[in-house]
Chain A
Amino acid sequence: MDLIKKIPAYVERIPNGGILMTGLDWVLNNAKASSMWYMLFGLACCAIELMATGASRYDFDRLGMIFRATPRQTDLMIVAGTLTLKMAPRVKLLYEQMPDPKYVIAMGGCTMHGGPFYHDSYSVLKGVDKIIPVDIHVAGCPPRPEALMNGCIALQDLIRGEKVGRKRDRPGLRHIDPATNLPLLVRPDTGLIRPNQIIMPDQLRVLS
């Protein structure tokens, strides 16, 4: 009954049982946010932290997040690690194979702007949001499991704020600022993020 009290609903008892009245947005968004199945793939050392987050000590399962080994059954892609130019077409293909609605968490500095490979590297894609739209960026090198879970909770809050039947404001792809010639991250909900700006995990809620 504690759970029932938290639901923004109006419960009316009638002789043959209960009628629960609430918003369709609330029901569908909570269903979506509480069963985010993520794709089982990792690219570099961030994948170790992703595995640690999925294991029993931190336990992703209590957020309703279970890994699936195929993109066809997933709602969430966690890009965990350095994305090289050779791997980028494969990741884009995996993203396109996911059914809608789909979300992306970019994990670690490499996925934001190349991280430690921003300078003097010819083979690393400098930002995953150049090829796929990213909902949440989690900073760190690699981020601790707490930070990744915080990012997932921020994503759940993002989903709970959506309106059913209205097209979602998709995050945009990165483009180059003509004034400074620096890559800019343009997202309708957060504004601009400079490539060398450090985003702490506790800022994620504010950003999203």
Chain B
Amino acid sequence: MTPQEFAKHLGANYPDHQFEIDPLNENCVLIPLQLVPQCFELLRDDDATQMDYFDFSTCVDHPPDRLDLVYSMYSTVYKHRIQLKVVLDRQNPCVPTVSHLWVNANWNEREMYDLFGVFFPGHKDLRRLMMPDDWEGHPLRKDYAHPNLVVRPD
């Protein structure tokens, strides 16, 4: 399936919501925040999609007010891949977990919590993954500052 067909398929299942192709990435479908995680459950279990393999999830920081969450998943049955994007509020980023649907989403979400400060309600073990447990701040935010950070001179 192409991203357009995915958007059409999701629109048929959730007629109350809009599914658009992301203007920043033609392979990416924007989905509303309130459809997480049931939209993912549908894509995984639906016979027409069968997204049984979770590639990765990651974050893109757009200061000052936007934080994007990108999910990538793949179907080993149909051999098709789709990326989904959820737009979050940068001040208070919070999105329900999908780690109960795909086990490997567990560490991806811990990494995003660690480095971007995204909170995942429903996650069983939301601790820092990379940084020490007592670390303060979320280093991959664009406005992150740390006394150890020496900015490269131009």
Contact = CB atoms under 8 A, between A and B. Distances in A.
Nearest to B144: A122
Residues of A in contact with B, size category = 10 to 19
Query: 7 closest A-B pairs (Cβ-Cβ)?
Result: A119-B152, A122-B146, A122-B149, A86-B132, A120-B152, A122-B139, A122-B148
Contacts of B146: 122
Contact of A119 (B132, B139, B144, B151): B151
Interface of A: 85-86, 118-124, 126
Nearest to B149: A122
B77 interface: no
Interface of B: 131-132, 139, 144, 146, 148-152
Contacts of A122: 139, 144, 146, 148-149
Residue picked from B131, B150, B151, most chain A C-beta under 10 Å: B150
Contact of B131 (A86, A118, A121, A124): A86
B137 to A, nearest CB: 9
Nearest to B150: A119
B135 to A, nearest CB: 8
A124 B149 CA distance: 9
B132 A121 contact: no
A123 B139 contact: yes
A122 B136 CA distance: 12
Q: Which among A85, A86, A122 has the greatest number of chain B C-beta atoms within 10 A?
A: A122
Nearest to B145: A122
A85 B148 contact: yes
Contacts of A124: 148
B131 A123 contact: yes
A120 B151 contact: yes
A19 to B, nearest CB: 60
A125 to B, nearest CB: 8
A120 B150 contact: yes
Contacts of B151: 119-120
A8 B3 CA distance: 83
A119 B150 CA distance: 5
A120 B132 contact: no
Contacts of A126: 148, 150
Contacts of B148: 85, 121-124, 126
A122 B139 CA distance: 8
Given A119-B151, A120-B149, 16 more contacts: A85-B132, A85-B148, A86-B131, A86-B132, A119-B152, A120-B152, A121-B148, A122-B139, A122-B144, A122-B146, A122-B148, A123-B139, A123-B148, A124-B148, A126-B148, A126-B150
Contacts of A120: 149-152
9 contacts: A85-B148, A86-B132, A119-B150, A120-B151, A120-B152, A121-B148, A122-B139, A122-B144, A123-B131
Nearest to B132: A86
A82 to B, nearest CB: 13
Contacts of B139: 122-123
- For B146, B148, B152, which residue has the most chain A Cβ atoms within 10 angstroms? B148
Nearest to B147: A122
Contacts of B150: 118-121, 126
